[in-house]
Amino acid sequence: MDLLNTLVDKGLRRELPTRDEALAVLATSDDDVLDVVAAAGKVRRHWFGRRVKLNYLVNLKSGLCPEDCSYCSQRLGSKADILKYTWLKPDQASQAAAAGLAGGAKRVCLVASGRGPTDRDVDRVSDTIKAIKDRHEDVEVCACLGLLSDGQAERLREAGADAYNHNLNTSEGTYGDITTTHTYADRVDTVQKAHAAGLSACSGLIAGMGESDEDLVDVVYSLRELDPDSVPVNFLIPFEGTPLAKEWNLTPQRCLRILAMVRFVCPDVEVRIAGGREVHLRTMQPLALNLANSIFLGDYLTSEGQAGKADLDMIADAGFEVEGAGEVTLPEHRVTAGAGCGAHAEAGCGSHADAGCGSHEGGGVCGSVKVQAEQEQPAEARTDLVAVRRRGAGTDLAPNA
């Protein structure tokens, strides 16, 4: 297919595809999905080999968020039956992180629900970062605490944080349909603050809420322009008790096309399969490793993932290998250019796994949404695959890692 050959050539040169080319990837048929995966896989292997980076989430504070993000199980007014607890103590968070690191994770993502941290919250997280790094000197720590105030990113960096996550989630044009309590510009501002402080930027999107192909391309092109080091791709987890509980718009093939489009547009960036992969990719998860070079190990924030051992077996069976703690994730040109670590502070950027406003799960647009491509048929609702997390952080049960 001429389109795919062109996209591979551009990906190997780090050349931006045209919007029409990106849209054409999303418009390919299910009959062509293996060809699309094979093409995007060439770009992925060129920049990242067969390495898969493992990340581990620690939910520091769960539920009771004052924001009204429509996709979120922790939102204001959510009736989802999730775990609710206040801040974990540093030693509790360190113990939770240790489980993921023992399972092979090299990055720990510290997430807390809420609009944004108070200065006291930053102190708490700083103490937690120190507790983790005292036990695991080489671990990468990414914070995801919501909207940052002036000076907070610098304090997190001084405390030892390596990265900060804040997702754009969807296109600027549809962002107002997600929430009324903050804006798209607020998100960009927060990642600009992280960039300026020398933190590596992590910012991604959420798919599966009935958005159009144009919306998906818009947000990915915005991310490319903002130049984060890592782009988590979340697939909506339709929690009962949230406004988007009935939104089952994804098929495994659709998820693969979305991941391929992200890889073509962001060829040399860490692309992470985040929340919802078990729910929507299902048995096609191993194919997705040909597109993304990073996943979350074990459970998410308020939902359970597949067993950590199953993640490791999947990686090995698919012919990939877990990225070691001593290996550098990003290609050399991004590392030496300081990409995402202050060098692009003026560009700015827009959570991990299922994080939205600081720590939300899933994602999507409520209210009026554009109709997806006509070729797509609504997926069967697999509510049996949405399991609320009942173990790990905030409980007395062993974590999944």
Q: Tell me if residue 65 is catalytic.
A: yes
Q: Which of 44, 157, 187, 202 is catalytic?
A: 202
Q: Tell me if residue 202 is catalytic.
A: yes
Tokens 């098929």 sit on residue: 251
Q: Which of 44, 187, 224, 272 is catalytic?
A: 272
75/355 Cα distance (integer angstroms): 12
Q: Which of 72, 144, 341, 349 is catalytic?
A: 72
Q: Which of 44, 69, 187, 334 is catalytic?
A: 69
Q: Specify whether the CB–CB gap between 356 and 70 falls below 8 A.
A: no
60 backbone dihedrals φ, ψ, rounded to 5°: -70, -30
Contacts of 198 (CB under 8 A, 6+ apart): 157, 341, 342
Q: Which of 44, 75, 107, 109 is catalytic?
A: 109
Q: Which of 142, 255, 266, 341 is catalytic?
A: 142
Three-state secondary structure of 36-104: HHHHHHHHHHHHHCCEEEEEEEEEEEECCCCCCCCCCCCCCCCCCCCCCECCCCHHHHHHHHHHHHHCC
Q: Tell me if residue 272 is catalytic.
A: yes
Quickly list DSSP for 287-328.
Answer: HHTTT-SEEE-S--SSB--S-HHHHHHHHHHTT-EEPPTTS-
Q: Tell me if residue 69 is catalytic.
A: yes
Q: Which of 44, 65, 266, 341 is catalytic?
A: 65
168/176 Cα distance (integer angstroms): 12
Q: Tell me if residue 72 is catalytic.
A: yes
| Catalytic center residues | 65, 69, 72, 109, 142, 202, 272
